[in-house]
Structure 1
Amino acid sequence: MNPKRKLALAAATACLFVFVLVAATAALMLASEAHGGGGRTPEERIVALVVVALGAGTVICWTLVKLHALYVSVPLRMAEDLLATVAHGGLRLPEEGSEELRVLARAANQLLAVRDALEHDVAERVREARASLEEERGRLAALMTDLSQSVVVCNLDGRVLLYNQRARQELSAGSDGNTLGLGRSIYTVFDRALIEHALERLQQASLDQSGADTRKLIGSAQFVTATRAGRLLRAHMSPVLGGDGQHGARVGGLSITGFVLVLDDVTSTNERHGRRDALIQSLIEGGRGPLGSIRAAGEMLSDFSDMDPRQRDRFLGVIRDEARALSAHFETAAAAFSNDLRERWLLEEILGTELVAVAARRIGEPRASDRRVLAVKTEEVDEDLWLRVDTFGLLQALSYLALRLQDEYEVREVRLSLTRSGQLAQLDLSWLGTFMNNETAMSWLQDPMSIGGESSPLSVVDVIERCNGEIWFQRVRVSHRAIFRTMVPAAEAPKDLPRAIVAAAEGDRPEFYDFDIFTWSAVSHELDDRPLAELSYTVFDTETTGLQPSQGDEIIQIGATRIVNRRLLRHECFDQLVDPLRPLSQQSIDVHGITRELLVGQPTIDTVLPEFQSFCADTVLVGHNAAFDMRFLQLKEKQTGVRFAQPVLDTLLLSAVLHPNQGSHRLEAIAERLGVSVFGRHTALGDAMVTGEVFLKMVPLLAEMGITTLRQAREASERTYHARLKY
């Protein structure tokens, strides 16, 4: 109930009480005069008057409370529930209050059921209409996923609209946080001047050819740049044309509304070319001296045929020594560059365990021409070992050798193992008991492979050499085991996403408002007039060692996700454990389940906060009971030098704005009212996900109340009772 209504009700109650008191007084006075005073003293009449007035006042107050609860509070709660139900189908009003209100609730529920049926029918028709669109989107997603190149699509402001996983891995590696994400600026990765120069070239080219066929005008711009991790990228920029663009050059009635970046990592190619140039230079410089000496000695021997034998031997010795030195120089250069020459063959990076699993499945598959099945066992396999090989060729070679063992030696079982041997990976195909001589084994390795009636011009040796490796046959007489042993270079594990654990205190956290989140900083007001639906948000939560940030409790986990274009981006998450450098209480462990053992070896808050600040840059922070979490961040400003100056919205306060008559504004209660499923409670990322879903449900409800901008949401939150509480 708003303050004006409360004031009016209080005034009406006071007036009614005064009226009853005056009426009771007049009635007593009339009764006393009618009976001649009744023999009562004035004091007795005053006491009787007070007793009657108090009784009448009590009856009046009780009656008003009951009437207010029955005809004011229940209808107000019903109205709030009805608004939430209208916004989110499938919910029904509780039937409570007087019989008239229950009849009204039943009628409203019937209308809601009809509305839900109509919405279901409309939704079904929309789903059918979007079937082809979703199919196209699925194809696009598959294409983007399978591309070996990085692809990023941006609007003209540099905001990322689309990217593939390859781009996320390459452009986020080596940064302080997750620099690439939907709605984020590409200028956190690339130099703004470089992108703007390329865009200017695209726009100028479009203007120069504005009279030609639009389909032939989609030119491109290319440039080379470096990432923060030191990787060298070749970028190919193409324009995105649209009919409703506000900026850029007009092309055949269309406008450049954005751009596509296709990125190739040319670091290894550039390094290989550098090594090649250095090799050529070393051959030139290193060969000039020996060749000059050989030439001079040869000319002397040719010009002076009657030379003294001892002098002739010295010149011949010079030729021999210089030729040996030159030969050794060439051998060294050839060995150094041999791997680079082999790199021209397309090789793939694969986790060794995946290669062994695929090989075991392929070897063990029954053949249509033979009912026999070759059993395959895997022995020791290094789960962290990565290989860079011709996967298809290597699998073909292993299958060829295993099936030939079955056909010619009736081997019933083979074993696969993969281990690290220094800088190499050792892949063994072994079997027990069957004798094979070295000559037969070598012929198998050098013969063209034939599997299932299909022949290949390549031999096993050819395939292994493409992988920069070696293969040989050996016997272990003690264990009666024979082995085809393959040695290939081990690869470095691909750079993964920035460090993150993809995986709360004692009882419910208190509602801390001992600092003002509404005037947190001047920067936080820059977005005040932007519509809520157009902003990007970082929804976050923390888990802590306790509930007293000012008394030494620390953050032990930060979880966050992002909202862009009114969508919760579940794949763009920040979830990091933090070593608090202090003990955890058993009460807090019982709530969030994070033990001291899980925190050992985790980064400290000094490392995590800069990464989290990078993750939530250029967004509005959203939390439930956000002041509790912000208090922890505020207290770490001096220690870490990190300050979160962006705006903050709190779903607890927004719930109080939307539903002021509800008794609880806990996250579970809000989620239940808005039809949001609760999962992962008391984990930082789980709570952040639920809070994000709740916030998305709140935005249209706030719009119905006329709260559409960030400023209006903050001011409405500030007026709630909960925002005035001090702890």
Structure 2
Amino acid sequence: MKAKYRFIAAIVVLALLMTGPFVVTSLLVWLDMKDAERTMLTELLLSRLPVGTLMTLFGFAIGAAVLHKLFKQYVEGLLRMAETLRLMLGANRDFRVTPDGPPEVRQLAQAANDLAAQRDALMDDVDAQIARAKASVEEEKNRLAALMSELAQAVVVCNLDGRILLYNNRARLQFKALAQGPTSVSGGALIGLGRSIFSILDKGQVEHAREVIVQRLAAGKMPMAHFITTTRGGQLLRVQMVPVMAGEGGLSGYVLTVENITRSIEEEERRDQALHTLTQGSRSAIGNIRAAVANLLDYPDMEPELRERFLRVIDDEVARRSVVIDQTMSQFSDSMKTRWPLEDILGIDVIAAAQRRIEDKLKLPTKTEELDDALWMRADSYSLIFALGFLASKLQDHYAPRELRFRLSSEGRLAYLDLIWSGPAMSSETFYTWEMEVMQFGSETSPLTLREVIDRHGGEIWYQREKAAHRAFFRFVLPVATPETEAAPEERRVTGRPEYYDFDLFKFEDASIDLDRKLSELAYTVFDTETTGLEPSNGDEIIQIGAARIVNNRLLRQEVFNQIVDPERPLRPEGIPIHGITEDMVRGQPTIDVVLPAFHEFCEETVLIAHNAAFDMRFLQLKEERTGIRFGQPVLDTLLLSAVAHPNQESHKLDDIMTRLGVVIGKRHNALEDALATGEVFLKLVPLLEEQGIVTVRQALEASEKTYFARVKY
């Protein structure tokens, strides 16, 4: 529109410049005429006024038509050509200018197409040279990918913020099987590029394992840590962590190998229970049987009544044992107890980590004395260090010691870890209360009590006074472990197939939605819905939600959400040929009450993207009161962004935008496929918007609001 106004203004100025001399000359002649001549001229003009007026109006009409035609052919045509040229330079190199309009414009279009063809030939040559240079690198990457694909263990690589930047197929399948609650809808998984590992594993345990690795690196030891954790569904996972080293000895991330040990622990528990059940009472039963058999052998001529009594004893004992065996076989699986798997850890590492946490959180000085630096313990280091911090916090609150001391020794198969302080005597009732209390250390709370931690270690704890030294200590009695032989450094090569990877995410710092961050830096969820109709306010319902994620400027086609929804109302027959969803397909599917929380969890911490987003968002907003789910993140609309990038194009339908940008997708009018198409369109639009100075989410939202299409309401 601005170009049109400028064109009209230029024509008006040109007309004034052309008619200006004639007007001035006429005015001078009029002033030089006599009164009689002026009267005669006036009468002549008035008699010809109607005809002159008609001719003037006709001339203006012809002029306006000519101006409009010239504007359409030259100005608008050249503007569309400019947008097309930008498309050819950036988003779609195969796009070409359509020769249209006057001969001069057609010649210019043909020249532009010829230049584009030459440019493509040069780019093809450059691409071929780059491909040859990258061939060896790709070969190494594919070899790494193949190796990782065959690993039996789940492997996850994270940056220092806990953002996932690599995982293999085994990890995807394992965490998909662990999904509980809303995540389990649509085959959801807990894992995804750019997502936080802390949604799967406890953050405190992961950070503690990092501290152990940093400490072992500083001590020149093998940088490795282990811990056991539980998922939201109660599954037990054994996790091993090794660092990803950066330059100058720093850490850029860590590699986690995860193993679900729930089944093995349950099987071991079942074996223990079965063994206990079978052996309980067996000694006395066997003794009775042996005694009866001995009497029968020693007295072959005993009376028949007495012989019958001994045989009955044998029969009764054997029958009772048979009953016990039968009951064990049928019932032992229902009487399992959860055991807490323990790992081998160096005792001084536990003490060092406990000292650091106590000094950081409580500002309480700590020292050590009489440490056995070669002593290995069988323990869960996270819960043990939490227990030490809990006791230190209690001592500080009730007895205000000036410092705490640690001591580590062993006797036979037992390790003694002492927490020592100077102060008044403590009553046994106070210590018992602390044992049974749920532990809290600073702002962190554990669901376990001190007694539960000790019991899970199969150990003991007691309080003892050193009267001569006027001090007291808590003694942790823990099992001693023999460390396994560490592999040589050259044997510990990290291999594996990064089927789901993005190494650039090592630089990914934060997933929070910052409107002033670049469009290319944020994580997105691009989604689409299929519905029973086009009137959400009049009862139409969602029947499918499809979505995919964009992370680090890449559309992740393997991390998708695709769920058909039971609308709890009949489908419109005229809509079935469009979306292809029938009554049989929606029957028995989850309702929107179940699907919407799962979709909300899928798109957490991301910006939403949709085509004609006002339509889809209206359906979601109308379900806020019913489901309690609100989508409060920013929403970008590819329809509006296309209007911003190409304001002179006549159509901004998704199909037309795809054609302009060179996006090719499979079948359409399927929510997931439409979402994938919208994602590809968005990625093509980002560089085009940046050329106009629109580089942040805030700028994209503000530009979208100024378009005509932003006024459409549903």
What TM-score do you get using the length of structure 2 for normalisation? 0.67
Q: Deviations over 1:133-171 (max 9, x none)?
A: 222332333333322221111111111112122212221
Residue of structure 1 aligned with 2:281, choices 286, 289, 299:
286
Q: Is the 8 A contact 1:28 1:49 kept in 2?
A: no
Q: Kindly provide the amino acid, as one letter, of the partner of residue 80 in structure 1.
A: E
Establish whether residue 65 from structure 1 lines up as the match of residue 68 from structure 2: yes
Deviations 1:577-620 (A, max 9, x none): 11111122222112222222222222211111111112212211
Q: How does 1:662-677 map to 2 (within 5 A)?
A: 662-677=649-664
The 1:46/1:726 distance shift into structure 2, 3 A limit, reads farther
* 2:281 aligned counterpart, secondary structure: helix
Q: Deviation of residue 11 (structure 1)?
A: 4.9
Aligned-pair CA distance for 1:652: 0.5
CA distance 1:336–1:555, shift in 2 (3 Å): closer
Separation (CA, whole Å) in 1 of partners of 2:131 and 2:202: 42
1:135 maps to which of 131, 139, 142:
139
Moved more, 584-593 or 318-327: 318-327
Could you tell me which residue of structure 2 aligns to residue 79 of structure 1?
82
Structure 2: distance between partners of 1:550 and 1:14: 50
Equivalent residue number for residue 192 of structure 2: 181
Q: Work out which structure has the larger RCO, using CA pairs closer than 8 Å and 6 or more positions apart in sequence.
A: 2
Deviation of 1:631 after TM superposition, in Å, equals: 0.6
Q: Is the partner of 2:93 in helix, strand or coil?
A: coil
Task: Quote the Cα distance in structure 2 between the aligned partners of 1:334 and 1:725.
Answer: 69
What letter matches 1:116 in structure 2? D
Contact 2:518 2:695 in 1 (8 A): yes
Tell me which residue corresponds to 2:316: 321
The aligned residue for residue 430 of structure 2 is: none
From 276, 287, 311, give the equivalent of 2:271: 276
Over the matched positions of the two proteins, sequence identity in percent amounts to 50
Deviation per CA, 1:232-278: give whole Å up to 9, x if none. 221111111123xxxxxxxxx13211111111221221111101111
Alpha-carbon distance in 1 for matches of 2:228, 2:47 = 103
Matches of 2:17 and 2:123, distance apart in 1:
54
Q: Distance in 2 between matches of 1:162 and 1:294?
A: 64
- Match in the other structure for 1:611: 598
Query: Cα gap change, 1:614/1:164 in structure 2, threshold over 3 Å: closer, same or farther?
Result: same
Cross-structure match for 2:547: 560
Structure 1, residues 83-105: CA drift from partner, whole Å, max 9, x if none?
01001322222222333333322
Instruction: Find the aligned partners of 1:181 and 1:554 in 2 and give their Cα distance.
Output: 29
**2:270 corresponds to 1:267:** no
SS of residue in 2 equivalent to 1:120: helix
Q: Which residue of 2 aligns with 1:577?
A: 564
Residue 305 of structure 1: CA displacement?
Answer: 12
2:528 aligns with 541
Do the aligned residues in 2 keep the contact of 1:232 with 1:266 (CA within 8 Å)? yes
1:472 aligned partner: none
**Counterpart contact for 1:24–1:52, Cα < 8 Å:** no
Q: Letter of the 2:213 partner, please give it.
A: L
What is the Cα deviation at residue 116 of structure 1? 0.9
Matches within 5 A, 1:397-476: none
- Write the deviation string for residues 562-586 of structure 1: whole angstroms up to 9, x where unpaired: 2122221122222211111112222
Are 1:692 and 2:671 matched, yes or no?
no
Residue of structure 2 equivalent to 1:206 = 217
The residue correspondences of 1:92-107 to structure 2 (distance < 5 A) are: 92-107=96-111
Pick one of 120, 123, 142 that aligns with 1:119. Answer: 123
Aligned-partner SS, 1:69: helix
User: CA, structure 1 residues 167+300, in 2 after alignment: closer, same or farther (shift >3 Å)?
Assistant: same
Q: Are 2:600 and 1:589 equivalent residues in the alignment? A: no
Query: What runs of 5+ residues in structure 2 fail to find an aligned partner?
Result: 334-510
Normalising to structure 1: TM-score of the pair? 0.66
State how 1:349-364 maps to structure 2 within 5 Å.
none
1:41–1:559 distance in 2 versus 1, CA, 3 Å: same
Deviations 1:364-386 (A, max 9, x none): xxxxxxxxxxxxxxxxxxxxxxx
Among 190, 194, 204, the alignment partner of 2:201 is 190
Instruction: Note if contact 1:545-1:584 (Cα within 8 Å) is conserved in structure 2.
Output: yes
| 1:624 aligns with one of 600, 611, 619 | 611
Unaligned residue ranges in structure 1 (runs of 5+): 210-216, 244-252, 339-523
8 Å Cα contact 2:614-2:713 kept in structure 1: no
- 2: CA distance, partners of 1:299 / 1:34: 163
State the alpha-carbon separation in 2 of the partners of residues 705 and 192 from structure 1: 42
Q: How does 1:34-45 map to 2 (within 5 A)?
A: 37=40, 40=43, 44=47
Query: How has the CA–CA distance of structure 1 residues 583 and 306 changed in structure 2, closer, same or farther, with 3 Å as cutoff?
Result: closer
Instruction: Quote the Cα distance in structure 1 between the aligned partners of 2:117 and 2:513.
Output: 44
Whether the 8 Å CA contact 2:513–2:607 is kept in 1: the answer is: no
C-alpha displacement of 1:223: 1.3
User: What SS does the aligned partner of 1:559 have?
Assistant: strand
The equivalent of 2:711 in structure 1 is 724
Please report how far the alpha carbon of residue 81 of structure 1 lies from its aligned counterpart in structure 2 after TM superposition: 0.4
CA distance in 2, matches of 1:112, 1:223: 59
Q: How far did residue 66 of structure 1 move? A: 2.2
RMSD: 3.4
Cα 1:337–1:604 shift into 2, 3 Å: closer
Q: Indicate conservation of the 8 Å contact 1:539/1:622, yes or no.
A: yes
Separation of aligned partners in 1, 2:580 and 2:330: 56
Q: Is 2:578–2:669's contact at 8 Å kept on the other side of the alignment? A: yes
Distance 1:585 1:187 in 2: 44
Counterpart secondary structure, 1:130: helix
1:602 matches 2:589: yes
User: Do 1:568 and 1:693's aligned partners in 2 also have CA atoms closer than 8 Å?
Assistant: yes
Deviation sequence 1:431-469 (CA, Å, 0-9, x none): xxxxxxxxxxxxxxxxxxxxxxxxxxxxxxxxxxxxxxx
Say which of 217, 223, 230 aligns to 2:227. 223
Conservation of the 8 A alpha-carbon contact between 2:513 and 2:606: no
* More divergent stretch after superposition (92-101 vs 689-698): 92-101
User: For residues 27 and 624 of structure 1, what CA distance do their matches in structure 2 show?
Assistant: 62
Displacement after TM superposition at 1:696 (Å):
1.0
Cα distance in 2 between the residues matched to 1:9 and 1:543: 45
**2:316 aligned partner, one-letter code:** D
SS class of match (2:104): helix
Q: Which amino acid aligns with 2:216?
A: A
Match of 2:695 in 1: 708
CA positional deviation for 1:554: 0.8
Are 1:17 and 1:57, in contact at CA under 8 Å, matched by a contact in 2? no
Give the SS at the match of 1:652.
helix
Using the alignment, how far apart are the partners of 1:258 and 1:528 within structure 2? 27
Alpha-carbon shift at residue 228 of structure 1 (Å): 3.1
Q: Deviations over 1:688-717 (max 9, x none)?
A: 111111111111111222211111111111
